[in-house]
Amino acid sequence: MDYVALYLNVFAISLVLLLFAADVPMVAGGVRPGTLCQTDERVIFSCLVKSGNRLVSLCGSKVLTDKSGYLQYRFGRGGRIELEFPGERQGSQQMFRYAHYFRPQVDRFSVSFTIKDHTYTVFKNYEGDIEPKGQDAGIHIALPGEKSREIPCVGLGKGNLHEIKSVVPCDQDDALNMGECP
């Protein structure tokens, strides 16, 4: 593995994220360990990424439906949010899309959003029909005119992405859904 190239990719992604970051400090109150979610929020998904000792978190209000509550993506480290999307909580569920593919021994789930021309996809996959069986999670960033980048999680993270399937709209354009959305 070319560690110099990996480091440069991670550095480039960090710069892109910082360009769009507001460097928002955490709100007073407790933060759930291993997440950027407050103690009064639900942890939909959170993991430590393999670059720069940062966290990726999808946080939601305790009561979260397609019509009430909020959903936010946060990226940062230990109490400092470097990127939060969306900034406004009201109606935030409509700014995300999910994709899901399932068959026996295979389960792939992702949640995407777009900031300007950058598409961020938080994913968690299980591939049980291959040897060795595989699981992975992370964030995929599609940059316009550039090769997409993937930042893997250390382990599989915590939370359950599937629980927002009834909260955010299905992404009809994502091939993972195979053209079928409820």
What residue numbers bound the domain in which 173 lies? 3-177
Q: What is the pLDDT of residues 95-120, one digit of tens each?
A: 999 999 999 999 999 999 999 999 99
Q: Which residues contact 9 (CB under 8 A, 6 or more apart)?
A: 149
The neighbouring-strand residues paired with 136 are 125
Q: What is the pLDDT of residues 35-58, one digit of tens each?
A: 999 999 999 999 999 877 899 999
**Is residue 29 domain-resident?**
yes
SS3 20: coil
Domains held by the chain: number: 1
**Is residue 182 domain-resident?**
no
SS3 163: helix
Residue of 24, 66, 68, 64 whose CA lies nearest to 44: 64
Per-residue pLDDT of the chain (182 residues; tens, 9 = 90+): 443 343 334 333 333 333 333 333 344 457 677 899 999 999 999 999 987 789 999 999 999 999 999 999 999 987 789 999 999 999 999 999 999 999 999 999 999 999 999 999 999 999 888 888 889 999 999 988 888 999 999 989 999 999 999 999 999 888 888 888 87
**Is residue 46 domain-resident?**
yes
Long-range contacts of 134-139 (CB under 8 A, 24+ apart): 137/45, 137/47, 138/47, 138/49, 138/56, 139/49, 139/56, 139/75
**Is residue 17 domain-resident?**
yes
